[in-house]
Structure 1
Amino acid sequence: MSISDHLPHASKIVMIDEVVEFGPGKIKTRSVIKEDNIFLRDGKIEMYKAIEIMAQALGIYDSKTREAVGQKSGLGFLLGSRKFEMFIPFLSIGDEIEITSVCSIQDDSGFGVYDCELYVNGILGSRASLNVISPDDDFLQKVFG
Structure 2
Amino acid sequence: MSLFSMAELVPHSGDMILLDEVVSYGEDDVETRVQVKAGGLFNQADGSYPAWLGVELMAQSIAAFAGSHARAANKPVALGFLLGTRKFECDVESFPLGAVLQIKALRTLQDDNGMAVFECHLNGPGIYATARLNVFQPPNITQFIQESGEAPKHV
**Selected match of 1:51 from 23, 48, 55:** 55
With normalisation by structure 1, the TM-score equals 0.91
1:124, distance to aligned residue in structure 2 (A): 4.3
The answer to whether structure 1 residue 4 and structure 2 residue 7 are counterparts is yes
Q: How many residues align?
A: 143
With normalisation by structure 2, the TM-score equals 0.86
Per-residue deviation, residues 81-112 of structure 1 (Å, max 9, x unmatched): 11111111101110101000001101111110
**Selected match of 2:29 from 11, 26, 31:** 26
Q: Please give the alpha-carbon distance, in whole angstroms, between the structure 2 residues aligned to 1:108 and 1:67.
A: 20
Q: State whether residues 74 and 136 of structure 1, in contact with CA within 8 Å, keep that contact through their aligned partners in structure 2.
A: no
**Structure 1 residues not aligned, in runs of 5+:** none
Per-residue deviation, residues 47-87 of structure 1 (Å, max 9, x unmatched): 01110000000001011122233321110100001111111
**Structure 2 residues not aligned, in runs of 5+:** 148-155
**Closer, same or farther in 2 for the Cα pair 1:90/1:72, shift >3 Å?**
same
The answer to whether structure 1 residue 107 and structure 2 residue 111 are counterparts is yes
CA RMSD of aligned residues (A): 1.5
Q: Please give the alpha-carbon distance, in whole angstroms, between the structure 2 residues aligned to 1:10 and 1:48.
A: 21
Percentage of identical aligned residues: 30
The answer to whether structure 1 residue 89 and structure 2 residue 96 are counterparts is no
Corresponding residue for residue 70 of structure 1: 74
